Amino acid sequence: MRKRCRTYGGTQMACGIPQMRAGCGFERAESETVWFCRRNGAFNGSEIGMKTELDNLRVVTLALNVPGPVAASRLAGMGARVVKVEPPGGDPLGRYSAEWYKALNAGQEIVLLNLKEAAGLKGCNELLASADVLLTAQRPSALHRLSLDWPRLHRDFPRLCHVAIVGHARPNEEMAGHDLTYVAGLGLVCPPGMPLTLLADLGGAEMAVSAALRLLLVREQTGEGAYMEVALAEAAEQFARPLMYGVTRPGGLLGGGFAGYGLYETRAGYLAVSTLEGHFFSRLLKELELAAGTRQALEQAFSTRTAAEWEVWARERDLPICMVRTWPVGDCAEPG
C-alpha cells in the first residue's frame, strides 16, 4: 500500500504519512517519496501473489467526509489503486476524526488540488485520463461549475465510469442534507439521544461500491463508461424497511414482541438475547430450566447473574447471547 506526493502545475501537492499501528513495516524508495505498509494479520492477496478482484483498476475520488472515503477504502481493499483529490484545506474528516481519516485513506495516494483554479482542474483531468472510476460526493450543480459534470466527462473520457453520491434521488438531488436528517426523516432517531452510527453514510458507501462494480461490468459489455447516482436518503430508507413493515416496531417480532429476542437487565449490565430460531429458544429454556418462555420468566432468571457472566455461560452452550457494551465518552479504545 502506498501514499505519494505529486506535483501539478509547478505546485507541490503535499500529503501526510499515516500513523501506522505497531507491527507495520515501512520501506522507502530512494527515487521518490513512496511509503509502503504491510499490516500484520490483514489479508492482502497481492502480498502472497494472489490476484485481487480489482487489480489494475484505477479509481479517482473527489469525495470528502464519510460516504465517499468509506467507498474508496472498500474499493482499495479489493485491489484498486485509489487516488484521492482533496482541496488545499484537506478533508474535514481529518480534522474531526484524525484516526478514522488515517484508517480510511491507508494505502491511497493523496493529491491536494484547487479545482476552482485552472492548474488544479488541469491536474484533475490528467488523473482522469487514466482512471477507470470517478467517485464524487458534490451536488450536481457544483460539479457543473467545475466543468466536471457527466456530459463533459463522458465526452473527454468515454471509458470513465462515474459514481456520484448525492443526498436525495432525482428530482431532489440538489436538496441539502446529512446523515442525521436522512435517518430522522424516516423515524430512525429516538430523541433526545443521537444516533450511535451513520446508517445513511455507511449504507450509501456500500451502494456506491456496488454501483462502481455495476458500471465496470456495463463497460465490459459496451466498451463505454456510464454514470450512476447513489442517494444517501435511499440508503437510509433501506435501513428503515424493517420498521416500515412492522418487524422492529414496538410489539413486533424483533421489537420486543418475542421473549426470545430482546434486551434484559441483569445483576450488572444488560444482556442482548437473540434466540430467534426455535432450536435456540428451546435450548435456552432447557438450560435455564424454565417451563414457560415468557418475558417475566426470563427477566427473573437473568437477574441472578451479571451480563458478563451470562455471556460466558451462553458461549459455552452455543447460544446467541452477549452483554451490551457501551463506548466510554471520549474513548476510542475497544468497547468495554
CB 52 within 8 A of CB 46: yes
Give the three cell numbers for residue 298. 426470563
Cα angle vertex 227, ends 128, 45, to 5°?
A: 65
Q: What is the DSSP letter of 265?
A: E
pLDDT at 25: 36
* Alpha-carbon dihedral sign for residues 117, 118, 119, 125: positive
C-alpha cell at 284: 435456552
Please tell me the predicted confidence (pLDDT) of residue 43.
41
Rounded to an integer, the average pLDDT of 300-326 is 97
- DSSP character for 141? H
Which of residues 1 and 120 earns the better pLDDT score?
A: 120
Nine cell digits for residue 267: 445483576
Rounded distance, CA 262 to CA 41, Å? 35
Written as nine digits, the cell of 135 is 467517485
Q: What is the pLDDT of residue 52?
A: 66
Mean pLDDT of the chain: 86
Could you give all domains of the chain from N- to C-terminal order, each with its CATH number?
A: 50-241 (3.40.50.10540), 257-323 (3.30.1540.10)
Q: What percent of the chain has pLDDT over 70?
A: 82
How far is Cα of residue 111 from the mean position of the Cα atoms in its chain? Answer: 22
Which has more confidence, 329 or 261?
Answer: 261
Q: Contact, 307 vs 269, CB < 8 A?
A: yes
In the prediction, which pLDDT does 334 show? 45
In contact, 198 and 97? CB cutoff 8 Å: no
Compute the distance between CA of residue 84 and CA of residue 90 in angstroms, rounded to an integer. Answer: 11
Judged against a pLDDT cut of 90, whether residue 332 lies above it is answered with: no
Q: What is the pLDDT of residues 26-51, one digit of tens each?
A: 333 333 333 333 333 334 444 445 55
Task: Give the model confidence (pLDDT) of 287-309 as tens digits.
Answer: 999 999 999 999 999 999 999 99
**Percent share of the chain, pLDDT over 90:** 80
Determine the average pLDDT of the residues in 97-118: 97
Residue 54's pLDDT band (cuts 50, 70, 90) = confident
- Is the confidence at residue 128, as pLDDT, over 60? yes
Largest CA distance in the chain: 79
Number of Cβ within a 10 Å radius of residue 267: 13
H-state helical runs in the chain: 67-77, 93-96, 98-105, 118-128, 140-145, 150-156, 179-184, 199-222, 232-244, 278-288, 295-302, 307-316
